[in-house]
Amino acid sequence: MQQVNLGMIGGGTVGSGVFHAWQKNGDLLAARLGIKISFRKIAVKAIDEPRAYPIAPELLTTQWQEVVNDPEIQIVIELVGGTGIAKTMVLGALAQGKTVVTANKALLSAHGPELFAAAAKSGVNLYYEASVCGGIPIIKALREGLVANQFPAIYGIVNGTCNYILSRMKFEGADFATVLAEAQKQGYAETPPDLDIDGHDAAHKTGILGSLAHGFWVNHHQIHTEGIREVSKIDMEFAAKLGYTIKLLGIVKQAAVKNPGRKTLVQVSVYPALIPSAHVLANVNQVFNAVFVRGDIVGDTLFYGRGAGKDATASAVLSDVADAAQDLKHGNQMRVPPFVPTAQAGKVVPLDEVISQYYVRFSVVDKPGVLAKIAAIFAAANIGISSVFQPEGDEGASVPLILMIHDAPNAAMRKALARIAKLPAVKAKPVMFRVENLE
């Protein structure tokens, strides 16, 4: 049986998970592939650092160059993360003619085209299934299973930390700060938690999905990104009364803009949105991820599972290793290249041009004429109000006023809210979330 040798850089939580999964099911992999997969060397920060699963000490080194430069190693797994030294490692491995498997969504988001060009120059492949949604095979689904489709819309719950926080806020009526603190204690959220709760992790993943779906590599600086810090308990309650659930969504969809004659215009965004509570995505809770994909031929499909963790990620990494091993078995002939540019003129539409529906909450003085003044500003901006909800309060006191807004461009909505915020009767910054009906 042909043998393929692996080297791995990173032996922490995910790295030890990959090694453990290989120990458990390596023989099964060999039987299914007709290829024996063997670890030759694993680079770690420290030999004696604590690990979720033990790694055979004779495989360990503290010098990552020993992995990249070893002529017997054919596939390098990069699990370091970040966009600094990890980029040097990946480019070094590709330059040595080694196939690379990575889980590094930040690196791909920032430097994807450069990495793909380096792989092509060396005639090797770059695999990255584990970079998006852990154990959910969404990369393979878009590149292979749904290759005959165009993708009018993709909606993803792609960050487990945010989904855990929002799920608890919904079901327990808890506030954001309390749930975040508990999530950090339980290890679901990092300290500091900014990468997750400010939407940046979700943006890396959403950009990769958008790139694969529409054939041009999305510039991560062009992804409009909002996190969940502004989501409050009161918004969860009002959304539920209106038949909605608030989720942090990664959104990739053909843009609804005023100038539809332009081609390959795509909205790529991350923000908390109201979605219908009856929709399947609204019922994805706790740390689970899900990606809802609409294909023009296949219709609607849903991919659901654990989006992070040592075991889910290990499953995706070893899936890529299996594909890479089959490439090598057939003379390094790539069945599927890492990325195929099919829309060089593609463009991410600025959010100001995107048309959406909206939920808006104001804190206003409860007195006659306030709603009329707010409605007049919206009317002057050609923005229609679809419904109004206001709990009873004492006259003269500050009360919440909730408006559901018809389709309107984001720029018009933003400017109207800035005007409304200056009204004397408006006592706090307006809170606005977009509504995605997923139709």
Residues designated as active site: 205
**Nearest in space to 103 (alpha carbons), one of 72, 71, 73, 136:** 136
Structure tokens at 86: 């990890």
Structure tokens at 68: 């990249």
**Nearest in space to 252 (alpha carbons), one of 194, 204, 211, 299:** 211
- Using CB atoms within 10 Å of the CB of residue 404, give its burial: 0 to 12 exposed, 13 to 18 middle, 19+ buried: middle
Structure tokens at 273: 């949105």
> Cα-flanking dihedrals φ and ψ of residue 203, to 5°?
-65, -40
3-class DSSP state of 145: helix
CA dist., res. 215 & res. 223, Å (int): 16
Residues 6+ apart with CB under 8 A from 251: 153, 154, 155, 156, 206, 267, 268, 269, 270, 271, 273, 436
Report the chain's C-alpha Rg in angstroms: 24
**Nearest in space to 38 (alpha carbons), one of 85, 6, 72:** 6
